Structure 1
Amino acid sequence: MRQTAFVLVLAACLVGAGLVSPRLAQAQDAAAPFDGDLQRFAEILGSLHYLREICGANEGQKWRDEMQALVDAETPSGERRARLIASFNRGYYGFQQTYRTCTPAATLAIKRYLAEGSKISRDLTARYAN
């Protein structure tokens, strides 16, 4: 149930991010005021993509698809796009180098990342959505 709430909040964040993007269109590669939060959010999605799989969630490409939805909604170009993708990959590969199987620490990391991701998406939506 908690995961469903996270996805719903993520969806709200994506809508919010999509509403903000047109205002920033004139400066395609310029950093948006929320880019740091989006990069952290992307890193969390990458981490969850790896960790949920090794912990047997059987979600397939769910978290990668969520990252793609974020990129599609935000439509970053150039350096902004590269930074978001690098953040996702950093989250994924960071845990891939550390965990080969699901451990209690991996399960705890999942819980913490779900909570942090939910908080970031709520904060972004509250702050930037119209």
Structure 2
Amino acid sequence: MTRFFLLGLVVVSPLLAASSLQAQSQKPQEPTVSATPYDRQLNRLSEIIGTITYLRNRCSEKPEPQWRAAMEKLLTLDAGNEPARKEQLTAAYNRGYRAFGALHDTCTKAAQATEQEYRAEGATLIKEMINRFGN
């Protein structure tokens, strides 16, 4: 009985492999992200904007939609018609937003200090990107 089972595997295995290859070739290709020399900085900036959005809205008396609007503008200007790039930058923004949502559920002095530090880092990052990569 073992011999027939093994023989069956020998016959069926190539068929499974062929169907697996065919299924893989029919899968839609994932869009690629076009690389730019400032990708690392832009991802970090997106994360910083997400953090600031969370902390400013947590610490202000009324929501501050300008931070989310700034991120949407960044997506429009830099990601344009590249869905994969837009997804990558949005993920960085959400990562920054959620990370501090887990740490600061109320506005504290530490949250305010963190927000100031991130604003300074973001401003420095923007200046460096402009100086290095143009405006």
* TM-score scaled by length of structure 1: 0.73
In structure 2, distance between residues paired with 1:118 and 1:40: 12
Query: Quick check: 2:79–2:85 contact (8 Å CA) kept in 1?
Result: no
Partner of 2:112: 107
- After TM superposition, which residue ranges in structure 1, 4 or more long, deviate above 6 angstroms? none
Give the direction of change, closer, same or farther, for the CA distance of 1:113–1:66 in structure 2 (3 Å limit).
same
**Residues 1:75 and 2:73 aligned together:** no
Partner of 1:121: 126
**Residues 1:50 and 2:54 aligned together:** yes
In the TM superposition, residue 57 of structure 1 has moved relative to its aligned partner by 5.7
In structure 2, distance between residues paired with 1:97 and 1:86: 16
Q: Which has the higher contact order (CA 8 A, sep 6+)?
A: 1
Partner of 1:31: 35
Task: Report how many aligned residue pairs link the two structures.
Answer: 103
Structure 1 or 2, whichever has the larger Rg, is 2
Q: Deviations over 1:99-118 (max 9, x none)?
A: 11111110111110010000
In structure 1, distance between residues paired with 2:109 and 2:54: 15
RMSD across aligned C-alpha pairs, in angstroms?
1.6
In structure 1, distance between residues paired with 2:48 and 2:62: 18
- Paired-residue identity, %: 34
In structure 2, distance between residues paired with 1:57 and 1:105: 17
In structure 1, distance between residues paired with 2:115 and 2:104: 12
Aligned pair partner of 2:70 in 66, 69, 74: 66
Aligned to 1:97, the other structure's residue is in SS state helix
Q: Deviations over 1:2-35 (max 9, x none)?
A: xxxxxxxxxxxxxxxxxxxxxxxxxx72221101
In the TM superposition, residue 59 of structure 1 has moved relative to its aligned partner by 4.7
- Consecutive unaligned residues of structure 1, counting only runs of 5 or more, are 1-27
